[in-house]
Amino acid sequence: MRARPWIIIAAAGVVAFGAIALVLTFAVAPRQIGQAVGVASIGGPFTLTDDTGATVTDKTLAGKPYVMYFGYTYCPDVCPTTLFDLTRWIKALGPDADKLSYVFVTVDPERDTPKLMHEYLASFDKRIRGFTGTPAQIAKIAKEYRVYYKKVPSSDGSYLMDHSAIIYLMTADEKFDTVIPYQEKDTAALAKLRDLVATAPSS
Amino acid sequence: MRLLSKLALMAVLLAAAPAAFAQAGGTSKINVEQPWARATPAGAMTGAVYMTLANRTNTEDRLTAASSDVASKVQIHEMAVVNGIMQMRQLTDGLAVPAGGSVTLKPGGYHVMLIGLKKRLIAGQTFPLTLTFANAGNISITVPIQAIGATNSGNGGMGKMEMK
C-alpha cells in the first residue's frame, strides 16, 4: 500500500517519457527524408506495369528528371487533390513541363488495375502515367522510396490505405532531389519543380 | 438556479433565432449549410461530401449515418495527414455536433464518404443525400458537385490559381 504512489509516479514517468520519445521520433522523421537518411538511399530499381499494360522499369524513367507520387484511386480526398494540384503545376510550367516525367504509383495494387488507373488518370494531365504491379513489386518500390503504406480494414469488410502523401522529385540519374509535402503552396511547389527542370540534361 | 438556467436557455434561443429564420423551412434541429461534393475522376469508386452542420438545440447531437442513391455505401470519415502520412478512419460512433455549435466537414478533415459510386460525380450536377442524426432524425439535402480542384463550396477550383 505504501509503495503504491511511487509505482504510480514511476509509471507516469515511463508513460511521459515514452510519449515524448514518440513525439520526437515523428517530429524529426519528415526532415530525415531529405537529410539524415541521405540522398542516395531514396529510389532504386523497380519493375512495374503502367496504365497501358506495358512493363516499365526505373530505366524507363531514366534520362529525364521525374515526379513520383504514391497514392490510390479509392482515396476520395488527398489523392485527387494532389493529382489536380500537379495538373495545375504542369500547366504553369508551360513548355518546360515536357522536360519532366510524371508518375502516379498505386499503393493499392489489388484494386488499382492498369485499366482502372488509365481511366482515372484521364481526368488529370495526360502526362501523368500510372504504375501498378504485384503486391510484391509495389512493396519493393515503396521500400526503396521510403513510402509508408498500410491497409486499414473498415467495418464493411473493405479497406482503406494509410499512405505517405508526399510528392518525390527525382533527378534524371534517379537521385533524390526533394519532396513536395501535402498542401505545399503553389509558389513553393513550382519553385521546386523549376529547380528540377534546371537539373534536366540538355539534349 | 433554475431561473438562471432558464434565462441562459432563452438567451441561447434568442441568439440562435436569426440563423433559424434565415434558413428556409427552419424547423429542423440541425442546419446543413453549404453542402458540396468534389467531382470525381473517371473510374473512381469513391467520393467525398463536405458541409457545415449547425446544431440549433442545446443538446449535443451526432451524425450517425448517411445514405444516397449515388453510392452503395455511405460512411462518415475523418482524414488527417500526420507527418506526411495520410490516415483515413471511419467514425463508427458518428460525428458529434456540439450543443449550440457547429462542425465543419472539409477537405483534409471530416467528410461523408461515398463508397461504390454508381455514377461519376460531374461538376455542375447535384445528387440527393440523406443524413441521419441521433436526435434530429433524417435530413435530406441536395448536394451540388464542384470541380475536382475545388477546395470549398463556392470555389470552382479552376478559377483561382494564386500562382503569383
Q: Break chain A into its structural domains and give their ranges.
A: 1-37, 47-198
What does the block give as the cell for A81? 487533390
Query: Which residue on chain A is closest to B150 by alpha carbon?
Result: A81
State how far the Cα of B50 lies from the Cα of B33, in Å rounded to an integer.
10
Residue B110: give its domain's CATH number. 2.60.40.1890
Give the residue numbers spanning the domain of B38: 27-146
Question: Does A165 contact chain B (CB < 8 Å)?
Answer: yes
A158 residue type, one letter: S
User: Which secondary structure element, helix H or strand E, spans residue A27, and what is its range?
Assistant: helix A4-34
Grouping H, G, I as helix, E, B as strand and the rest as coil, residue B27 is: coil
In a domain, B14, yes or no: no
In a domain, B22, yes or no: no
Q: Please give the pLDDT value at position B161.
A: 39
How many domains, chain B?
1
In a domain, B9, yes or no: no
Grouping H, G, I as helix, E, B as strand and the rest as coil, residue B10 is: helix
Q: How much is the average pLDDT of A142-157?
A: 90
Higher pLDDT, B26 or B120: B120
What does the block give as the cell for B117? 459510386
- Is residue B56 predicted with pLDDT exceeding 90? yes
Crossing angle between the packed helical segments A78-93 and A186-198, to the nearest 10 degrees: 60
CA–CA distances in Å: residue A8 to residues A14, A17, A18, A22, B30: 10, 14, 15, 21, 45
State how far the Cα of B53 lies from the Cα of B70, in Å rounded to an integer.
21
Asked if residues A49 and A114 have their Cβ atoms less than 8 Å apart, the reply is yes
CA–CA distances in Å: residue A21 to residues A7, A148, B86, B152: 21, 20, 22, 37
In a domain, B163, yes or no: no
Give the model confidence (pLDDT) of B127-160 as tens digits: 999 999 999 999 999 999 999 878 777 644 333 3
Q: Which residues pair with B85 in a beta bridge?
A: A164, B82
State how far the Cα of A103 lies from the Cα of A105, in Å rounded to an integer.
6
Q: Provide, rounded to the nearest whole percent, the portion of chain B with pLDDT above 70.
A: 77
Question: Does A17 contact chain B (CB < 8 Å)?
Answer: no
In a domain, B3, yes or no: no
User: Which of the residue ranges A43-57, A102-116, B71-85 would you say has the lowest mean pLDDT?
Assistant: B71-85
State how far the Cα of A80 lies from the Cα of A90, in Å rounded to an integer.
15
CA–CA distances in Å: residue A100 to residues A75, A171, B63, B131: 25, 9, 45, 45
Of the candidates B13, B96, B105, B20, the one whose C-alpha atom is nearest the C-alpha of residue B61 is B96
Which residues of chain A are within 8 Å of residue B44 when distances are taken between CB atoms? 73-74, 76, 80, 120
Candidate CATH numbers 3.75.10.10, 3.40.30.10, 3.40.50.2000, 3.40.50.300; the one for domain A47-198: 3.40.30.10
Query: Which residue on chain B is closest to A81 by alpha carbon?
Result: B149
Give the model confidence (pLDDT) of A10-24 as tens digits: 555 555 555 555 444
Give the model confidence (pLDDT) of A45-71 as tens digits: 999 999 999 999 999 998 999 999 999
In a domain, B4, yes or no: no
- Is pTM beyond 0.90? Reply is no
In a domain, B155, yes or no: no
Cα angle A182, A186, A188; round to 5 = 85
- Is residue A88 predicted with pLDDT exceeding 60? yes
In a domain, B161, yes or no: no
Query: Which residue on chain B is closest to A124 by alpha carbon?
Result: B41
User: Which of the residue ranges A73-77, A193-197, B55-59 would you say has the lowest mean pLDDT?
Assistant: A73-77
